[in-house]
Amino acid sequence: MQLSNRSNRLLRPPKPWFVYMSLFIGLLLNYVPFGRHPGIPDWTALVLVFWCIREPQYIGMGIGFFLGILVDIGHGTPMGQYALAYVVLAYIANGLARRVMWFPSLLQALHVLPMLLVAQALMAGVRVFAGEEFPEWNYFLSSIVGAALWLPLTYLLLLPQFQPVDRDENRPI
Partner 1 sequence: MPVSNFQTHPVFRRGVSPKVRLLIYITVCVVMLVADLRFNYMESVRGYLFTAALPVRTVASESAKLLGNATEHFSSLTDLQEENVRLRQHKLEGTERLLRFDELVQENAKLRELLGMRKKTPAKSIAVEVLYNVPDSSSRKVILDQGKKAGITHGLAVVDADGLLGQVTRVYPSQSEVTLITDRNQAVPVQVMRNGLRGVMFGTGQGLHTLSDVSKRWQQAVQSDIGPGSLELRFVLANADIKPDDILVTSGLDGVFLPGLPVATVENVDREAGAFAHVTCRPLGGVEKSLRVLVLGRSELPPPPPRPETGDPPPPPVLPRARQAEGRD
**Site residues (vs partner 1, CB under 8 A):** 27-38, 40, 56, 60-62, 65, 68-70, 73-81, 83-84, 87-88, 91-92, 94-99, 126-127, 129-133, 135, 139
Q: How far apart are the first and last CA of the chain?
A: 17
Q: Assess contact for 11 and 161: CB atoms under 8 A.
A: yes
For partner 1, give the closer residue by CB, 41 or 172: 41
CB of 162 to partner 1, least distance (A): 26
For partner 1, give the closer residue by CB, 13 or 33: 33
For partner 1, give the closer residue by CB, 132 or 155: 132
CB of 172 to partner 1, least distance (A): 27
Sign, CA torsion 90/96/98/100? negative
| Distance between CA atoms of residues 101 and 5, nearest Å | 6
CB of 110 to partner 1, least distance (A): 14
For partner 1, give the closer residue by CB, 9 or 37: 37
| Distance between CA atoms of residues 15 and 48, nearest Å | 15
Cα-based angle 148, 136, 121 (whole degrees, multiple of 5): 65
